[in-house]
Structure 1
Amino acid sequence: MNQTIKRATGLLILEAVNSNANGDPDRESDPRQRPNGLGEISPVSFKRKLRDLVEDRNGIVFTTLCGELKLDPERFCILESRGRNRETIRKEMAEDTGKFDENAFLNSAFVKKYWDGRLFGNTFLEEGGSKDYIKTGVAHFVMGLSVAPVQIVRHTNTNKSGVQEGKNQGMAPLAYRVVEHGVYCMPFYVNPSNAHKSGCTQDDVELMKKLIPYAYDHTRSAIRPDVRIRHAWYMEHKNPLGSCPDYKLIEALTPKRKGDPLTPSMSWNDYDVPSSLPEELKSMMGECVDLMDM
């Protein structure tokens, strides 16, 4: 299976406009921000959106992509879902004795059923179970960081209906917390070395690639109404070991802040944004596409 998956380097260029792309529960759901002012979007947050699109079995995104890719929906269930039954999943792992058997695991109902377990890996442990079930997946997303510091705006939400006895109007002080404008870069990688451990196939990777352009458009919320994927670069290497250092590809496609790099931006026009790889890097790669154009 690992021979069918090509090593790839990816880079998401995200633009947040008056939106909270990823709230921080340790700071009353403020948009995530580092002490130096740079904004953050966690990889867990982005993968959750891909999972949600697949978990919505009757949703237009999943049903459409299943038809396009000719996928069996029963092979694309979500492990990281609410209400899962741990005892059932333990049996699906083919771990009846607590002793790990790789062949049994790769042919188990668990591997055949859970798309996110195959693609992202899993840390699903049972009490007394085998530690060998801690699997590193094929696809790895990195913490997304804004190119320039972000400005957080906070407002009070109001509700015409009273939420307290004797009150005609409800108020939630500073409950509306958004980034005024920010451009974020989130690298991601596809590593075929781990495919034989998790059971990942090329179909799993192709579904991820198809899902990425819809990650925000089809999961909008009141606090996250306008997060745009401006570019979703996907660069396949010519060989499974890698044909170009990842960091060179990431650096070549990362936008640069015009003017003062320490000043929060106000629009997309505040950035110089590469439109393609330089020829010397492109010649090292097998393919370089923007998934947003596909």
Structure 2
Amino acid sequence: MGEVIKNRYEFVILFDVENGNPNGDPDAGNMPRIDPESGLGLVTDVCLKRKIRNYVETVKEDEQGYKIYIKENIPLNRSDREACESLGIKEQDDKKVTEALKKLKKSDKDADIKIKDYMCENFYDIRTFGAVMTTFVKASLNCGQVRGPVQLGFARSIDPVISQEITITRVAITTEKDAENKSNEMGRKSIVPYGLYRAEGYVSANLARRVTGFSEDDLELLWDAIINMFENDHSAARGKMAVRELIVFKHSKELGDCPAYKLFDAIEVKKNDGVEYPRKYQDYTITIHEDAIPDSVEMKRMI
């Protein structure tokens, strides 16, 4: 999987949505997430990580070293059991596994470490984002928390967005009884007409070296996944979504050359003059103030 990364990174993602719901809020009837005070649209870090996981799973197809731990409809204990088998525990009954793990912990004080290393080596998302593995086979062997080197914040729209509820109809009727009384059925969907969102992230070379072994190859896959995270995930509900910019800052050393906020502040996204209601990416201008970036930090626009 290549050499472990030696440089700290920060990055900024700009992505937009047109006539879609980028991230439904279960507390608000699955309408688009919006900050109630500012009116700015929100997309959670969990949502973005899901897109990255899905892309890696699609590209790698469970290739050795690139499995995904947090998957839809797959119990975590199923993946945990693979790690148990790596320690020679091949029991299928949970009770027997629990007993075997207790015996192992008494005889091998590094059992937790071996399990943790196995999970990092085999699961890309643990190696990247980390994981909380306190439910490991009914907590018989508590792997604890693996802190991943890659962290993402919430994405926030540049300008306030308006959530619209659209009434839709379908001509297919559900039951015979309903068909006697009506010719169509009504439904509703929530959309954002347009929104440009900004997310910021961090890559810690220190955590990569000390904890998960996140490598240069893993980093290249991460950039590829971010750029393409919406390309294989299109749906009518999400509308037209695309990553417009991925701007990466590479520090010259493991612990970095300057505070992250200085680099983030160097990227300015402004609505063009005369545009009242943005409806396309070209309604914005992206300016990078390179004089605010230290000479020891390399800036690269990946798209």
* TM-score range relative to shorter protein: 0.7 to 0.9
Distance 1:132 1:223, change over 3 A: same
Q: Which residue does the alignment assign to 1:171?
A: 186
**Alignment partner for residue 193 of structure 1, among 206, 209, 212?**
206
Query: Is 131-140 or 89-98 further displaced after alignment?
Result: 89-98
Alignment gaps of 5+ in structure 1:
64-71
In the TM superposition, residue 128 of structure 1 has moved relative to its aligned partner by: 3.1
d(CA) in 1 for partners of 2:3 and 2:111? Answer: 19
**Contact between 1:146 and 1:184, CA under 8 Å: does it hold in 2?**
yes
**Alignment partner for residue 73 of structure 1, among 57, 60, 63?**
63
Distance 1:85 1:212, change over 3 A: closer
d(CA) in 1 for partners of 2:34 and 2:121? Answer: 39
SS of aligned partner of 2:178: coil
1:247-258 to structure 2, matched below 5 A, reads 247-258=261-272
d(CA) in 2 for partners of 1:170 and 1:210? Answer: 42
Q: Which residue does the alignment assign to 1:104?
A: 114
Alignment gaps of 5+ in structure 2:
88-99
Q: CA RMSD in A?
A: 2.7
d(CA) in 2 for partners of 1:176 and 1:136? Answer: 38
Q: Which residue does the alignment assign to 1:69?
A: none
d(CA) in 1 for partners of 2:286 and 2:76? Answer: 46
Q: Which residue does the alignment assign to 1:67?
A: none
**Contact between 1:232 and 1:290, CA under 8 Å: does it hold in 2?**
yes
SS of aligned partner of 2:101: coil
**Contact between 2:115 and 2:143, CA under 8 Å: does it hold in 1?**
no
d(CA) in 2 for partners of 1:48 and 1:33? Answer: 20
Distance 1:132 1:271, change over 3 A: same
CA displacement 1:152-202 (0-9 Å, x = unmatched):
121112111002432331211xx2211111111100110122222233222
CA displacement 1:114-156 (0-9 Å, x = unmatched):
1001110011222334555211101001100111100112111
**Contact between 1:155 and 1:177, CA under 8 Å: does it hold in 2?**
yes
1:148-167 to structure 2, matched below 5 A, reads 148-164=159-175, 165-167=177-179
SS of aligned partner of 2:19: strand
Q: Which residue does the alignment assign to 2:146?
A: 135
Q: Which residue does the alignment assign to 2:295?
A: 283
Give the total of aligned pairs: 274
**Contact between 1:11 and 1:233, CA under 8 Å: does it hold in 2?**
yes
Identity %: 24
In the TM superposition, residue 277 of structure 1 has moved relative to its aligned partner by: 4.3
1:1-294 to structure 2, matched below 5 A, reads 4-35=5-36, 36-56=38-58, 61-62=59-60, 73-81=63-71, 82-84=73-75, 86=77, 88-90=79-81, 92=83, 96-97=101-102, 101=111, 103-105=113-115, 107-108=117-118, 110-126=119-135, 127-129=138-140, 132-164=143-175, 165-167=177-179, 168-172=183-187, 175-195=188-208, 196-258=210-272, 265-274=278-287, 276-281=288-293, 283-285=295-297, 287-292=298-303
d(CA) in 2 for partners of 1:3 and 1:211? Answer: 19
**Contact between 2:57 and 2:68, CA under 8 Å: does it hold in 1?**
yes
Distance 1:3 1:219, change over 3 A: closer
**Contact between 2:263 and 2:292, CA under 8 Å: does it hold in 1?**
no
SS of aligned partner of 1:255: strand
The code of the aligned residue for 2:133 comes to F
Distance 1:162 1:5, change over 3 A: farther
**Contact between 1:244 and 1:284, CA under 8 Å: does it hold in 2?**
no
**Contact between 2:130 and 2:149, CA under 8 Å: does it hold in 1?**
yes
SS of aligned partner of 2:221: helix
SS of aligned partner of 1:248: helix
**Contact between 1:148 and 1:264, CA under 8 Å: does it hold in 2?**
no
d(CA) in 1 for partners of 2:234 and 2:3? Answer: 35
In the TM superposition, residue 76 of structure 1 has moved relative to its aligned partner by: 0.3
d(CA) in 2 for partners of 1:124 and 1:257? Answer: 44
SS of aligned partner of 1:52: helix
d(CA) in 2 for partners of 1:191 and 1:92? Answer: 26
SS of aligned partner of 1:111: helix
**Contact between 2:5 and 2:214, CA under 8 Å: does it hold in 1?**
no
d(CA) in 1 for partners of 2:152 and 2:113? Answer: 28
SS of aligned partner of 1:185: strand
In the TM superposition, residue 34 of structure 1 has moved relative to its aligned partner by: 0.8
SS of aligned partner of 2:67: coil
d(CA) in 1 for partners of 2:207 and 2:3? Answer: 7
TM-score after normalising by structure 2? 0.81
Larger radius of gyration, structure 1 or 2? 2
